[in-house]
């Protein structure tokens, strides 16, 4: 089968391309840096034409109020090209619990992306993943100073990017779900606890202060970002750190 992997140079996209090729498929990465711009539409029809499956693993350059426009315009351009090209399966990567945190612009933007796909008249699959292990450094940097990192105790179920990529590649090569599959890491931690484990592993002497108002995850109520019934990935956070 032929796969057009949009965002195929990114953290997840580049590994999905490798996994699909290793499974014997033809997988072509497309991204802004390869001359395909999903916002202006440049090169999109050509990228999608002839693909059996489109896997959209792009990301918005910002997580703020500009993100809904990014996901709306990019999905409208990609879906129009996919309909024209007769694509049989369109896959996106979203976030577990994404519809439970309407306070966050970025999460509303990802819900919009899902809704556009569901209304897009193309057989589809939505893979919702929990937070990537690779994302932890960024999450800590938002609320860090020289001595402390402030983090809420929000329950998080971190998953390794390589496990996300494997799950996306498997779904993309299968029959369209016309629905949602949740995937998550094998363990749940409070984000503050995850911060302490991370700093200790790195020999970083800063202290994690539990602060229910700190950072983007302060807006999350309860354990909506976790799902113990998700398809559980094999890699544990402490093994990944090592
Ligand atoms: N972070 C998390 O914990 C988490 C959890 C669940 C789901 N997700 C989702 O996972 C998806 C992939 O994330 P990621 O971290 O792998 O992303 P990433 O590493 O930031 O890669 C983003 C990709 O999008 C491409 N791109 C951006 N703007 C573009 C444009 N205008 N035209 C064409 N390509 C463009 C980039 O191309 P260039 O290389 O050319 O810039 C790059 O290939 C995102 O949709 C995100 O919402 C993330």
The chain-wide mean pLDDT, for the chain, equals 97
Quote the ligand 1 centre to 13 CA distance (angstroms): 8
Q: Which atom of ligand 1 is nearest to the CA of 39?
A: 31
Query: What is the reported pLDDT for 119?
Result: 98
The CATH architecture to which 2-241 belongs is 3-Layer(aba) Sandwich (3.40)
Query: What is the reported pLDDT for 31?
Result: 98
For atom 12 of ligand 1, which residue has the closest CA?
57
Q: What does the block give as tokens for 169?
A: 């590649």
Quote the ligand 1 centre to 227 CA distance (angstroms): 23
Quote the ligand 1 centre to 8 CA distance (angstroms): 9
Q: What does the block give as tokens for 167?
A: 């799950």
Query: What is the reported pLDDT for 57?
Result: 98
pLDDT in tens, 142-151: 999 999 999 9
Tell me the domain boundaries of the chain: 2-241
Query: What is the rounded (10 degree) CA torsion for 137, 141, 146, 147?
Result: -70
Query: What is the reported pLDDT for 4?
Result: 98
Query: What is the reported pLDDT for 6?
Result: 98
Quote the ligand 1 centre to 77 CA distance (angstroms): 16
pLDDT in tens, 4-43: 999 999 999 999 999 999 999 999 999 999 999 999 999 9
Q: What does the block give as tokens for 86?
A: 């007769």
pLDDT in tens, 210-237: 999 999 999 999 999 999 999 999 999 9
CB atoms within 10 A of CB 223: 15
CB atoms within 10 A of CB 236: 15
- Ligand 1 pocket list (CB less than 6 A): 7, 9-13, 31-33, 36-39, 57-59, 93-95, 110, 129, 131-132, 135
The Cα angle at residue 17 between residues 12 and 20, in degrees rounded to 5? 120
Query: What is the reported pLDDT for 141?
Result: 94
- Model pTM greater than 0.95? yes
Pocket test for ligand 1, best of 59, 138, 240 (most atoms within 8 A of CB): 59
Closest CA to 4 of 70, 88, 127: 88
pLDDT in tens, 88-121: 999 999 999 999 999 999 999 999 999 999 999 9
Quote the ligand 1 centre to 209 CA distance (angstroms): 30
Q: How far is CA 124 from the centre of its chain?
A: 16
């Amino acid at each position: 089968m032929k796969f057009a992997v949009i965002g195929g140079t990114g953290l997840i996209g580049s590994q999905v391309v490798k996994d699909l090729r290793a499974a014997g498929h033809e997988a072509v990465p497309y991204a802004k840096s390869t001359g395909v711009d999903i916002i202006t539409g440049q090169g999109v029809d050509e990228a999608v034409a002839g693909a059996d499956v489109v896997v959209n693993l792009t990301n918005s350059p910002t997580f703020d109020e500009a993100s809904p426009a990014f996901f709306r315009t990019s999905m409208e351009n990609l879906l129009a090209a996919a309909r024209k090209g007769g694509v049989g399966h369109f896959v996106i990567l979203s976030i577990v619990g994404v519809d439970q945190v309407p306070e966050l612009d970025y999460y509303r933007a990802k819900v919009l992306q899902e809704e556009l796909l569901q209304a897009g008249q193309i057989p589809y699959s939505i893979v919702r993943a929990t937070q990537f292990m690779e994302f932890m450094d960024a999450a800590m940097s938002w609320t860090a100073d020289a001595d402390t990192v402030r983090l809420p105790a929000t329950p998080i179920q971190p998953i390794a990017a390589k496990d996300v990529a494997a799950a996306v590649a498997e779904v993309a090569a299968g029959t369209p779900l016309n629905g949602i599959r949740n995937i998550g890491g094998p363990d749940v931690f409070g984000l503050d606890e995850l911060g302490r484990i991370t700093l200790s592993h790195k020999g970083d002497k800063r202290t994690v202060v539990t602060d229910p108002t700190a950072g983007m995850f302060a807006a999350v109520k309860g354990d909506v970002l976790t799902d113990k019934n998700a398809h559980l990935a094999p890699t544990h956070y402490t093994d990944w750190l090592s």
